[in-house]
Amino acid sequence: MTSPGIKQTNESDSLMASEKYVPFLKKNGRYIYVKHSSKCPVFNGREFDNAGVFNEDFAVVGINGKSGFINREGDVAIPFIYDSASDFSEGLAGVEIDDRYGFINKKGDVIVPILYDNVSDCYDGYVQVELDRLFGINDSNGKEIYPPISMEVVIFFEDMAHISDTAGYNHGFIDITGKVVIPKIYYSAGDFSCGLAPVQWQDKWGFIDREMNVKIPYTYSTAYNFKEGISGVQLKNKWGFINVEGDVVIPLKYDKLTDYYRFMSEEMIGVMNGKYCGFINKMGEETVPLKYEQTKHFSEGMAGIKLKNKWGFVDTNGREVVPPRFEYIGFFSDNITWFLQDKKEGYIDLEGNIIIPPKYKRAGCFENGLARVELDGQSFYIDKLGREYKE
């Protein structure tokens, strides 16, 4: 039997081809789960105080201020004993009890003890843990690889993680056994990639290999990790790129790389000269002219660009697919992104067509056909057709 206000539908759009269950907000402020395509209730209409989407066949739900997990049959798979919980990733979920954090598996077994001040998501079988403002690493089996004794610890790249016991200097590296294999003698360091890691010695940056051999001399004022065979380097206030042999492959002629954390995205590099931003490809060709006030990194073949205080999108060839006309924009995911207009948020597709008009206070990113939005103090899900999963 369908609950009041929950309407059935016979839509056959390809979006509905694979059935899934979606949290549905009722007028009483509680959530049930419904079928994506028909909005018909499942799990006998059982209500929860809060509910998330299914991830790795489990969903985080809450009752009476406590969080637990249900499976796709609607059964309580992990009881409501946690103050908060995150989605499963790589078979583990972060949980909190009394301001302490750890990880459980899908059986509810504690894998990483619930005793840390904070924990990261699981990444390639490892998690970062924090205790008393110091950091360490555990593996996904719960084994402590490196205890929380350092002020900085970065998850493994090429089986090496850089560590620092003092903020700003004394950087070294551990291997996947937790053994310090490169002493903490560097002023700063990046991560291993292409067999090399950028390190700072005194006021200059160069690159070392796993045996501490200096492969690219200490020449640069700044250097980034290698990505797809090239690294961004700075010398005399100009940025360019070198290869793993240390050869300059893109001249040092730019004032700034516009995205520190991912200087290259989808083989495109954001650069800036003077007040203007654009993009080059990894061959150094200027494919998006340096004429914009601000840019965002590429996602799904599109990058946000700002001109005359308005935002739009360009493709990798520099074509303004979506001319600048919005107050602000997000990043494309699931071929859709949110935009801000007149202090309200809506959604456009890759061609710039408005597919969901701006009406929301906050519009989240789409993932697997769903996005979470906020309107009139309520938080609920919508699909790509703009259908709202609420009464």
Residue range 151-254, CATH number: 2.40.128.630
Judge whether residue 203 has pLDDT over 60. Answer: yes
**Of 61, 105, 96, residue with least CA distance to 80:** 61
Tens of pLDDT, residues 137-147: 999 999 999 99
Other residues' Cβ atoms within 10 Å of the Cβ of residue 116: 23
Judge whether residue 16 has pLDDT over 60. Answer: no
In sequence order, which residues have a C-beta less than 8 Å from that of residue 50 and are 6 or more positions away? 31, 61, 62, 67
**Per-residue confidence (pLDDT) for residue 260, from 0 to 100:** 63
**Of 243, 251, 248, 301, residue with least CA distance to 271:** 251
- What does the domain layout of the chain look like in residue ranges? 151-254
Average pLDDT estimate for 201-206? 96
Q: Which percentage of the chain shows pLDDT scores above 90? A: 92
What pairs with residue 340 in β-bridges?
Answer: 328, 345
**Of 310, 369, 362, residue with least CA distance to 336:** 369
Please give the C-alpha separations between residue 200 and each of 49, 156, 229, 371, in angstroms, as whole numbers: 51, 19, 20, 42
Q: How confident is the model at residue 1 (pLDDT cuts 50, 70, 90)?
A: very low
pTM, 2 dp: 0.88
Tens of pLDDT, residues 296-316: 999 999 999 999 999 999 999
DSSP-derived letter for residue 99 is T
Average pLDDT estimate for 286-305? 97
Q: How confident is the model at residue 17 (pLDDT cuts 50, 70, 90)?
A: very low
Tens of pLDDT, residues 156-200: 999 999 999 876 679 999 999 999 999 999 999 999 999 999 999
Amino acid identity for residue 17 in this structure:
A
Average pLDDT estimate for 346-369? 97
Q: How confident is the model at residue 373 (pLDDT cuts 50, 70, 90)?
A: very high
**Of 217, 126, 202, 129, residue with least CA distance to 171:** 202
Judge whether residue 5 has pLDDT over 70. Answer: no
Average pLDDT estimate for 285-305? 97
In sequence order, which residues have a C-beta less than 8 Å from that of residue 288 and are 6 or more positions away? 268, 278, 279, 295, 303, 305, 314, 316, 318
**Per-residue confidence (pLDDT) for residue 2, from 0 to 100:** 30
Q: How confident is the model at residue 259 (pLDDT cuts 50, 70, 90)?
A: confident
Amino acid identity for residue 94 in this structure:
G
**Per-residue confidence (pLDDT) for residue 168, from 0 to 100:** 63
